[in-house]
Amino acid sequence: MVKLSVIVPFYNVRQYASDTLKSLRANAREDFEFILVDDCSRDETPDILARAERELPGAVYVRHEKNGGLATARNTGIDTARGEYLTFLDGDDWLAPGYYPRLLAAIEELACDFVRTDHVQCTARARTIQRVPHGRRGEVMDPRQAILPADRTTSVDYPYAWAGVYHRRLVDRGLLHFTDGLRTAEDRPWIWRLHREAESFAVVGLLGVFYRRGVAGSLTQIGDVRQLDFIRAFDQVIEETAADPEADRLLPKAVRTYCAIIAHHLSEIDKFEPSVARQLRTMSAAAIKRLPQELLADVLDTMDLNRSSRLRRLRRRVPAAKAAS
C-alpha cells in the first residue's frame, strides 16, 4: 500500500529540476510515490523527468499535452495519487533529507485531516524561515477557528499547498482539488475551503521545504495577464464564504484580504505590461463594486492610510468599470 503520494508539477524548470529530484531521492521510501507532472514544458524538463521515472524509486511520470497551469497540474497529480496521505512540492523547490518521513510521522501521531508546517524561503543566497501564522503548535484544532481574527494575519493567509500534508479523506470529500485553470492565486480558494470545511488540523514546527523565490519566468516575476487570475480566485473566496452558515463572522476577513491583495498589486503596477495594467485597474474597480459595500466601508476605515487611499481612488473609478463586472 502507498502511504504517501508526493505531487510535483514541473514547467520549464530544467535548471532546477535535477536538484528537486535529488532531494526527492533523499526522501524516498518503499511506500512513497512521487508523481511527476510535466505541464507541457518546452525545454529539456521532459527528458529529465523521463530519466527520473527510471531512476527515482516510486516515480510516476505524467505529461500534459497542453499547458494547463499549476492548479490543473496538481489536480492531475491528485487524480493519479494512490497514497493514504498526499503532499505537494513545486518543481523548482527542494527538500531536506528525510523530511517526508518526519512529516508523515507528525500527521499519523496527530490523527487529523491536515497538518501545516513552516518553510525556508530562499532568495538568491538569503535564507529566511517563514512560520505558519498560528501560535498553537502540535495541538489538533478546528480549522475554522484559525481563519480569524479579521484584522490579523492568520492561517488562511499562509496558503502554500506544499507546506503541509493531507489525509486522503479530504480528496474523498472534494476538498483537496484546486480550481481548474487558475494561473495564479490558485491556493487561495483552496486554503479557505480547507479551513471552512475540514474537521481537524494542526500546525507543527517542522522545517524541510526550501521555497525558491525570484525564479526567472515564474508568475510572481512576470507582469502578464495571467497575474489577473487573482481576481477570479478571490471572487471565488468571497462567493463561497458568503454561502457559509457563518458568513457574518467570516466575510469581514475575506473582504479585508481581497482588498489587501488588490492594494498590493496596484502598488506594483509598474511591473505589468501597459495593457495589463489598464485591465488591472478596471477589473479591480469592478471587484470593489462587487464586494459587500458595508463591509468594504469598514475595511477602508480601518486599513493603513496608503492602502485605503489607493482603494478609495479605485472605488471612484467604479462607474466607468461596470462593464468589466
Verify that 250 and 119 share a domain, yes or no. no
Q: Is the pLDDT of residue 323 over 50?
A: no
Verify that 170 and 255 share a domain, yes or no. no
Phi/psi region, residue 10 (left: phi>0; alpha: psi -120 to 50; beta: rest), is: beta
Mean pLDDT of 85-110: 98
* 158-172: burial string, b at 16+ Cβ within 10 Å, e else: bbbbbbbbbbbebbe
CATH number of the domain enclosing 31? 3.90.550.10
Write down the pTM of the prediction: 0.93
Task: Domain of residue 121: give its range.
Answer: 4-219
The conformation of residue 141, written as its DSSP 8-state character, comes to: B
Q: Is the pLDDT of residue 159 over 50?
A: yes
Verify that 207 and 227 share a domain, yes or no. no
Q: Is the pLDDT of residue 218 over 60?
A: no
Q: What is the pLDDT of residue 320?
A: 46
Verify that 74 and 99 share a domain, yes or no. yes
C-alpha–C-alpha distance, residues 218 and 211, integer Å: 13
Verify that 196 and 268 share a domain, yes or no. no
Verify that 200 and 227 share a domain, yes or no. no
Q: What is the pLDDT of residue 223?
A: 65
Domain final residue, candidates 219, 246, 279 = 219
The mean predicted confidence, pLDDT, of the chain is: 94
- On the 0-12 / 13-18 / 19+ scale of CB atoms within 10 A, 322 is exposed
Q: Is the pLDDT of residue 92 over 80?
A: yes
